[in-house]
Each structure stands twice: as C-alpha cells, then as structure tokens.
C-alpha cells in the first residue's frame, strides 16, 4: 500500500467506526473547554471530567475565575497532576482574558499560545473542538499511531502534525484527530498492539511480524 492508499483506507474505516465522535472533555463554553484541555495534560480525560464540575461551579467564566485564590483552584484540581503549575496558569490566563480580551477566548493560535499554560496542542484542540477551525492536534498517542500506520517517520509531534496535514484533506482534520484518539484507546493501544495486532495496522502492513518501535 502506498501512503496515500493507507490514508484513504484509514479515513474511510475510522469514519465507519466513529461517524460522530464526541468531544471527550465536558464543558459549557469556550473558557471551560480551554481550562479542561489545559488540565488534561498528562492526565486522563475521565479524571478531568470528574474534577471540572466542582471547579466550574465555583467559577464558570474568566471574570469569576480571576478572583478565586490559586490555593482554592489547586485543592480542586490536585487529582489531575501538575496542580501547582496548572492552578497558577488557570488563575493568570483568566486575568489576562478579562484584561486583554474582555473575557473572550481569542481564535488565533498565536494569541492562544501566549496564554499561560497553553501550548500548541492545547491551542489546536480549542480551535478544532471549540471554534470548528481546521486544526490537527497531535499528542503522543496520535504520534505513535501515525508511525505505526506509516504516515510519518517524524521524531516529534511537530513533524507528525505536518505530515498528517499533508496526507489528509483539511476538511477531515477536526473529526479525524478525535477518531484516531478513540481508535487508539479501543484497538491500537500502547501495549496491546505495537503495530501488529489491530485491524488498521494489519491491513496497512500485512507482512509486518515484529513489533514496531516508535520514535518518542
């Protein structure tokens, strides 16, 4: 299979499996989605969804959140890990959003990346899932699957994002990155497949017999 053929097959098969993938993180507005995505760094979506209801009852928008003591934010989000850094970032970005953007979330990726605690992947998720602007957020899981599927040989998520954007049509990006996440969790897991077990891996590379060692 050529890379383009693998990409077409993956696009079609994932659309069959996950025609309407839900957004994994629960939120009621763009600010809440931003905070939830920030919290999801090195933390499961499931744990974030358990923590955010209490946090958002306390403060549902940046106007309210900027007035919440950092210690109080910390005590709520502690189960998510990296709580000292994340609680400080949530407090500071809330203040900046109010002061600089009148409480609105900017739609430009460079402006989002200027906010405390917001990296490229977090900004891309907000554009994609929050605003419907084409983006292709790539985390370590998507990076791993893209290598297993022969769509990239990049050693970083930055290169993998570029490669995936080249091989898949722009209109598919927002939906596809969610589809890959769900497929990876269900079938092509870190330890359960290793490039030789799941349907996509065996279809794309039927002659592969040894586990694929992916670049970090």
Confidence of residue 60 (pLDDT cuts 50, 70, 90): very high
Rounded Cα gap, residues 21 and 15, in angstroms = 9
Model pLDDT, residue 216: 65
Q: pTM of the predicted model, to two decimals?
A: 0.92
Q: What is the pLDDT of residues 111-169, one digit of tens each?
A: 999 999 999 999 999 999 999 999 999 998 899 999 999 999 988 999 999 999 999 99
Active site residues: 121, 139
Average pLDDT over residues 36-47: 95
Model pLDDT, residue 118: 97
Closest among 112, 117, 108 to 77, alpha carbons compared: 117
Model pLDDT, residue 110: 97
Closest among 165, 126, 158, 159 to 32, alpha carbons compared: 126
Q: What is the pLDDT of residues 78-99, one digit of tens each?
A: 999 999 999 999 999 999 999 9
CB-facing half-sphere around the CA of 87: CA atoms within 13 A: 20
Q: Helix crossing, 30-39 with 45-58: angle to 10°?
A: 130
Domains and CATH numbers, the chain: 3-21+136-204 (1.10.1670.10), 30-131 (1.10.340.30)
Average pLDDT over residues 181-189: 95
Helix (H, G, I), strand (E, B) or coil at 50: helix
24 in Cβ contact with 181 (< 8 Å): yes
Q: Which two tokens stand for residue 64?
A: 């309210």
Model pLDDT, residue 212: 87
Q: What is the pLDDT of residues 11-39, one digit of tens each?
A: 999 999 999 999 999 999 999 999 999 99
Model pLDDT, residue 151: 97
Model pLDDT, residue 129: 96
Q: Which two tokens stand for residue 27?
A: 């939120």
């Amino acid at each position: 299979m050529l890379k383009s053929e693998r990409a077409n097959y993956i696009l079609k098969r994932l659309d069959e499996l996950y025609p309407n993938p839900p957004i994994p993180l629960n939120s009621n507005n763009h600010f809440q989605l931003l905070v939830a995505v920030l919290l999801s760094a090195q933390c499961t979506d499931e744990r974030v969804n358990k923590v955010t209801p209490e946090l958002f009852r306390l403060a549902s928008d940046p106007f309210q959140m900027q007035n919440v003591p950092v210690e109080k934010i910390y005590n709520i989000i502690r189960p998510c890990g990296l709580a000292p850094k994340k609680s400080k970032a949530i407090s500071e970005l809330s203040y900046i959003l109010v002061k600089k953007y009148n409480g609105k979330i900017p739609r430009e990726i460079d402006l989002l990346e200027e906010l405390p605690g917001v990296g490229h992947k977090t900004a891309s998720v907000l554009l994609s899932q929050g605003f419907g602007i084409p983006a292709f957020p790539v985390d370590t899981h998507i990076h791993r699957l893209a290598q297993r599927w022969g769509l990239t040989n990049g050693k970083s998520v930055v290169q993998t994002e570029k490669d995936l954007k080249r091989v898949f049509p722009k209109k598919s990006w927002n939906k596809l990155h969610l589809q890959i996440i769900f497929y990876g969790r269900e079938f092509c897991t870190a330890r359960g497949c290793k490039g030789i077990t799941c349907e996509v891996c065996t279809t794309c590379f039927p002659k592969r017999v040894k586990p694929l060692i992916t670049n970090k």
